[in-house]
Structure formats: C-alpha cells, structure tokens
Chain A
Amino acid sequence: MKAYIIKYLYGDYGEIEGGGSSASPQHQWPLWEIFIRSKQGLDHKHAGSLHAADAQMAIENARDVYTRRMEGVSIWVVESKHITASNPDEAGELYEPAMDKVYRHPTFYDLPDEVGHM
C-alpha cells in the first residue's frame, strides 16, 4: 500500500477523527440517470444523476438542476439500476473486431483525382 497522502491542497484539511456513528441504513431515494435534449433535432445526452422517489419527481428535480438556464427542451430519466454497462477490462476483446477493418473507412480507397469529390 502506498504511503497515505498528507499534502494539503486547496481547502483539503483531511478528516478529523471521531465524530458520530457510521451511516445508519436509511431509506434512501433511488438514483436516476438524467438525459437532456438541448434543442429540437439533437440527441438526448447524459447530463448527470440525482435521487428521487419516483420518475415524475426525477423529471421535476432534473428540470430544477439541469435546465435552469434553458439547457434543455426534453428530459429522459431512467433508474440507474436498469443501466447495464460494458466492462472496461474487456474493452480489448469487445472492440477488437473493429481494429483491423481499415477498408470500412473511405480513405482506404485510392482513386484518381479526376473522380473528384466522392
């Protein structure tokens, strides 16, 4: 194990010891992932996440935190537990099939200049 970091940087004072019990298991609101369409014609894009009791509340909270300056015209919310993510450790095998297929790119083909823009 590496030595513990004690260099203080901007406002980092470390933790003071003691102080209360460890967290008691509470009934935490579920976590939602928020996707925002910034304007008509564009895709919804991941904006962040927040806790909310249900989907309706997630949309309302998302409006309050992610669209206060007209950053969005449409909101999608999905409970985080429903998202399945690929494993970064398997990225090698997962994307390997795409690596050796240069012929999928237009620059692979040498054509005479007379052809013009194609």
Chain B
Amino acid sequence: MEVQDFEKLFQDRIDAEIKIEPKDWMPDAYRKTNIRQISQHAHSEVVGMLPEGNWISRAPSLKRKAILLAKVQDEAGHGLYLYSAAETLGMSRDEMVEQLLTGKAKYSSIFNYPTLTWADMGAVGWLVDGAAILNQVMLCRTSYGPYARAMVRICKEESFHQRQGFEVLLVLSQGTPEQKAMCQDAINRWWWPSLMMFGPKDSESTNSDQSMKWKIKRKTNDELRQQFVDMCVEQVKVLGMTLPDKDLKWNEQRRHYDFGEINWDEFWAVVKGNGPCNKQRLDARNKAHTEGAWVREAAMAHAEKKKNKQLQKVA
C-alpha cells in the first residue's frame, strides 16, 4: 500500500468517528500536531497551579484554603493525565518537561497574568476555568483516543473549579462596598485575557483547517469565544456586576452577543514572552524542578536498593 492509501484509510476512520489509538497508523503531521497540542495543554495545567498556589496560604478561611488546595491538586492531576496521553505518541516525559523549562514549548498565556487580590481566585475559577471547560468539553470528542479519555476525566473534575470560583465572587458581591469593588476589579482585569484564551481569530488563518478535518478540534476559536461571551453575560447579572466592554450588545439577527475588539497586540506580546509574569512563572517552574532533583534521584536509589535486597533474599 502507498502512503496515500494509508492516509485515505485514516481519514475514512476519522470520518466514521472511529477513534485513533496509539499503535494505529497515523500521518506524521497528525502525530506532531497532537503531541504539540497535548503537551502544551499539560504545561498549561502545571503552570496554572502557580497563580493559585500563591493564594493557598492567604485564603480568608480554612474552608477556602482546603478548597483551593483541592483545586490546585486537581490541576496537577490534569497535567499528569495529559502528559501520559502525549507520551503514548512517542515523546518522553523528560523531553516535554525540558521543553517547558527552556521556554521552547508554550503554555496558555492566561497564566502570565498576576493574581493580585483574593477576588482574583474567584475570577480565575469562574472565567479562566470556565473558558477552559468549553474547550475541554469539545475535546472529550477529539479523535485521538488517549486524549479524549484524559479529557473526560478532566471534565468530571472541572465543574467544581468553576463553581467554587463563582461562589467566591458571589460572596464578595454581597459584601461590604470594598468587597464589591474588589469583585468588580477582578472581573475587569480577567475578562479580556480570558477572551484571549481562545486564541487568534479564525480569519487570521491562511491554511485549510487540517485540525478540524482530523477532528482533533470540532469548534473554531471564534465559535468557542462566542459561546463563552453569551454564557458570561448572563452569569455576571447574578453577581450584579458588569463586564468591562461597552460594545457588548445583544444582536437579534445573529442571536448572539456582539462584543468589542480584543487587544491583539497585547495577546501577541504575552505569547512572545512579554506578559506581566512570563519570566516569574518560568523561573518558578525551573526552581521547583531543580530543587526537586534530589528527591527524584533519592527515590530511584531507594527503589534500586530495595530491589537488590529482594534479589539477594531470593538467591
């Protein structure tokens, strides 16, 4: 069989909604795209722990500390599920970690923004996890089996993240004038970066959309972004707060909300490494990795010693 025949068979399976599994034949570009996307996604979960981890010790009550700790622990788990899925495509964990630590691989730019007040924990849960969930729900049906299964697991855990965030804001929105102001301020700062999470506009693309054809993705950036806007406009009313966009308006014809233009210069600046916290995040990851080296080595040495003891006993 020629490569073209394999590609045809491959596409037929995708079209028939048959999942692709690790040992199946797949085009090189399909493998590469998945490795890049899944590992980037994993890195985002891992780096995403930093802005929230920063608030665990400062959360206002023991209950809130416990909740935040549980959420951050979930994100570590999400990173693991995704790294494992990427590993099935032939890239080693060490290689992926290396790419993150050297800045070769990207992670979601949203985590390059600072978390300045307690209200940010609410805004992150509601908006950032909320945006991530829309993407992840779509990815539960992605064509690569291990990725889809990781997503199903992740989605089960995510909804508490968004709900706890919204509840943080809800409590603040019913509090003192200062607390209300803090709530609105956090929403104002996180709204636009959250919209940027969906990536560049569809019209920015030049090539035909291979990712959609391969059903790695099933919705475009703009579709997901619109879905997010429509959802948040309703939810913010419950908080009695506003979204910082004067162009936000119901469009009867489209049956969607129109919204203002995203600052794409800011978007690309953060992607290229010039966001408020890019350096800080990467430094923190590198520091943790370096300081954890002795633990990884000691665990391996301990495991080997135990194995040798056992072998001696048998002999």
**A contact residues vs B (CB 8 Å cutoff):** 1-16, 18-29, 31, 48-51, 53-54, 57, 64-65, 68-69, 85, 87-89
Interface check B95, CB cutoff 8 A: yes
Q: Indicate if the CB atoms of A19 and B102 lie closer than 8 Å.
A: yes
The secondary-structure label for the interface of chain A is loop
Leading 5 A-B pairs by shortest Cβ distance: A20-B102, A19-B104, A54-B303, A7-B205, A53-B303
Q: Indicate if the CB atoms of B87 and A31 lie closer than 8 Å.
A: yes
Candidates A2, A6, A18, A68; contact of B27 at CB < 8 Å: A2
Q: Indicate if the CB atoms of B217 and A16 lie closer than 8 Å.
A: no
User: Per-residue 0/1 for B56-85: is the Cβ within 8 Å of any A Cβ (1 yes, 0 no)?
Assistant: 000000000000001001101100110010
Q: Indicate if the CB atoms of A53 and B299 lie closer than 8 Å.
A: yes
Extra pairs beyond A13-B109, A16-B104, A64-B77 (10, CB < 8 Å): A6-B205, A7-B208, A7-B209, A10-B221, A12-B199, A16-B273, A21-B98, A22-B98, A28-B93, A29-B296
Q: Indicate if the CB atoms of B37 and A12 lie closer than 8 Å.
A: yes
Within 8 A of A (CB), among B223-273: 224, 271-273
Candidates A4, A11, A19; contact of B40 at CB < 8 Å: A11
- Residues of chain A within 8 A of B87, CB atoms compared: 31, 49
Q: How far is the CB of A65 from chain B (nearest CB, A)?
A: 5
Interface check B5, CB cutoff 8 A: no
* Distance in angstroms between the alpha carbons of A51 and B296 in the assembled complex: 11
Interface check B23, CB cutoff 8 A: yes
Q: How far is the CB of B291 from chain A (nearest CB, A)?
A: 16
* Distance in angstroms between the alpha carbons of A49 and B150 in the assembled complex: 11
**Which of the candidate stretches B28-36, B170-178, B182-190 sits at the interface with the other chain?**
B28-36
Q: Indicate if the CB atoms of B80 and A65 lie closer than 8 Å.
A: yes
Candidates B23, B24, B94, B102; contact of A26 at CB < 8 Å: B94
Known: A4-B29, A29-B299. A9 touches B199 (CB 8 A): yes
Interface check B306, CB cutoff 8 A: yes
Q: Indicate if the CB atoms of B135 and A10 lie closer than 8 Å.
A: yes
14 A-B pairs with C-beta separation under 8 A? A4-B29, A7-B208, A8-B204, A9-B199, A13-B199, A20-B98, A20-B104, A23-B98, A26-B94, A27-B300, A29-B299, A51-B93, A53-B303, A68-B73
Closest to A47 in B: B153
Q: Indicate if the CB atoms of B306 and A8 lie closer than 8 Å.
A: no
Q: Indicate if the CB atoms of A57 and B106 lie closer than 8 Å.
A: no
Q: How far is the CB of A72 from chain B (nearest CB, A)?
A: 13
Q: How far is the CB of B15 from chain A (nearest CB, A)?
A: 17
* Distance in angstroms between the alpha carbons of A44 and B207 in the assembled complex: 45
Interface check B103, CB cutoff 8 A: yes
* Distance in angstroms between the alpha carbons of A61 and B70 in the assembled complex: 16
Q: Indicate if the CB atoms of B27 and A10 lie closer than 8 Å.
A: no
Q: Indicate if the CB atoms of A8 and B300 lie closer than 8 Å.
A: no
* Distance in angstroms between the alpha carbons of A7 and B209 in the assembled complex: 6
- Residues of chain A within 8 A of B217, CB atoms compared: 9-10
